[in-house]
Amino acid sequence: MMKPNLKHAFEIIHNIEQKGGRAHIVGGAVRDAFLDRPLGDIDLASSFSPDQVMQAFDKVIPVGAEHGTVIIRYKGESYEITTYRSETEYADYRHPDQVEFIDSIEDDLARRDFTINAMAFNSAAELIDPYGGKTDLERKIIRAVGVPEERFKEDPLRILRALRFASQLRFNLDEHLLQAIRVCAPLLRYISVERKAVEFEKLLAGVGYKRILPLCFSLKIGSFLPIFNKELSLLKKLPAYNLRNMAEVITFYLMQGSAFTVHDWVKEWKLSNRVKHEALHLYDAVKAISFGTEDYDWILYQLPAHLQVHLISVAKALDWKIDESQLAIRYEKLPIKSKKELSFQAEDLIQAFPGSEKGRWIGDSLQRIEKAVVLKKIANEYQAIKEWVHSWNRHEIDS
Q: In this structure, are 128 and 258 located in the same domain?
A: no
Provide the residue range defining the domain that includes 272: 240-334
Is 43 assigned a ligand-binding role in the annotation? yes
Q: In this structure, are 2 and 124 located in the same domain?
A: yes
Q: In this structure, are 314 and 185 located in the same domain?
A: no
Is 319 assigned a ligand-binding role in the annotation? no
Q: Which helix (H) or strand (E) holds 81?
A: strand 77-83
Provide φ and ψ at 88, rounded to 5°. -105, -145
Is 170 assigned a ligand-binding role in the annotation? no
Is 398 assigned a ligand-binding role in the annotation? no
Confidence at residue 299, expressed as pLDDT on a 0 to 100 scale: 87
Q: In this structure, are 47 and 132 located in the same domain?
A: yes
Is 394 assigned a ligand-binding role in the annotation? no
Domain closes at, from 88, 116, 136: 136
Q: In this structure, are 55 and 171 located in the same domain?
A: no
* pLDDT tens track for 357-377: 888 899 999 999 999 999 999
**What is the average pLDDT across 73-92?**
86
Confidence at residue 47, expressed as pLDDT on a 0 to 100 scale: 97
* pLDDT tens track for 100-123: 888 999 999 999 999 999 999 999
Q: What is the mean pLDDT of the chain?
A: 92
Provide φ and ψ at 389, rounded to 5°. -60, -40
* CATH for 214: 1.10.110.30
The letter for the amino acid at 77 is E
Is 264 assigned a ligand-binding role in the annotation? no
Q: What ranges in 222-307 are assigned the alpha helix state H?
A: 246-255, 262-269, 273-291, 296-302
Our count of domains for the chain comes to 4
Contact 60, 54 (CB under 8 A): yes
Q: Rounded to 5 degrees, what angle do the CA atoms 139, 110, 38 make? A: 50
CA separation for the pair 283, 352 (Å, rounded): 37
Q: In this structure, are 30 and 125 located in the same domain?
A: yes
Contact 145, 154 (CB under 8 A): no
Contact 307, 327 (CB under 8 A): no
Contact 373, 333 (CB under 8 A): no
Beta bridge pairs of residue 24: 45
Q: In this structure, are 45 and 83 located in the same domain?
A: yes
Q: In this structure, are 122 and 216 located in the same domain?
A: no
Pairing of the two strands 141-142 and 172-173: parallel
Domain closes at, from 217, 238, 259: 238
* pLDDT tens track for 29-81: 999 999 999 998 999 999 999 999 999 999 999 998 888 999 999 999 999 99
DSSP code, position 306: G
Q: How far is CA 196 from the centre of its chain?
A: 11
Q: In this structure, are 194 and 253 located in the same domain?
A: no
- The pTM score is 0.85
DSSP code, position 325: H
Q: In this structure, are 81 and 205 located in the same domain?
A: no
CA separation for the pair 150, 111 (Å, rounded): 10
Is 85 assigned a ligand-binding role in the annotation? no
